[in-house]
Amino acid sequence: MTKRTGFLIFAVALVLTPFNGSAQSRADVVGTWKLVSATETTKTGEVRETNGHNPAGLLTYTADGRVMAITTNGGRKPLSTPDYTTAPIEERAEAFATVAAYAGRYTLDGNKVIHHIEICSIPNAVNTDQVRLITNLRGNSLTLRTVTMLGAYAQIAYREFVWERISK
């Protein structure tokens, strides 16, 4: 699997796949979180990186219930021109295929954090609710896991994203 294909799978799962999750209160998740790792586990138990080595990402939860997320594939190449609108179509396509970003509101429900998507780099995810299972929330460490992979991703048992809080 190429890095681009792997990231596309990651991006679609991140934004479009239902998730399940856990927290006691908003205070537990409020802050900005930096992506530490992103893996997927297949139904045969194989664990692999979902979006390349050294992925990058930020996830922010605010006290008033807002969420913003951006993730990128590790090792992204810069465009050949400073103006993205004049970059070759292939470079723009690669840049789009290796980033996922969205924002909206969030709610907590037991072990779940539900992202209510209002704007997204993938238009199909706008006005959807994405549920993530919180499998670890200790101090400045947060782990979010998908539960169900559908369609073309049915061979994946789950994806797991480990985040480190960098500010409150």
- Mean pLDDT across the stretch 32-59? 94
- Residues contacting residue 61 through CB under 8 Å, at least 6 positions apart: 26, 29, 30, 31, 33, 67, 106, 113
Residues 6 or more apart whose CB falls under 8 angstroms from that of 127 comprise 117, 118
Q: Quick one: which of 64, 57, 66, 56 has its CA closest to 103? A: 66
- Which one, of 12, 6, 4, lies nearest residue 130 by Cα? 12
Taking the model in full, what pTM does it have? Answer: 0.81
- We report the CATH number of the domain holding residue 68 as 2.40.128.280
Q: Which domain holds residue 34?
A: 3-167
Average pLDDT over residues 116-144: 95
- In total, how many domains does the chain have? 1
* Distances from the Cα of 101 to the Cα of 27, 56, 154, angstroms: 23, 12, 23
Residue-level pLDDT at 59: 98
CA distance 143 to 145: 7
Overall average pLDDT of the 13-37 stretch: 71
pLDDT at 75: 93
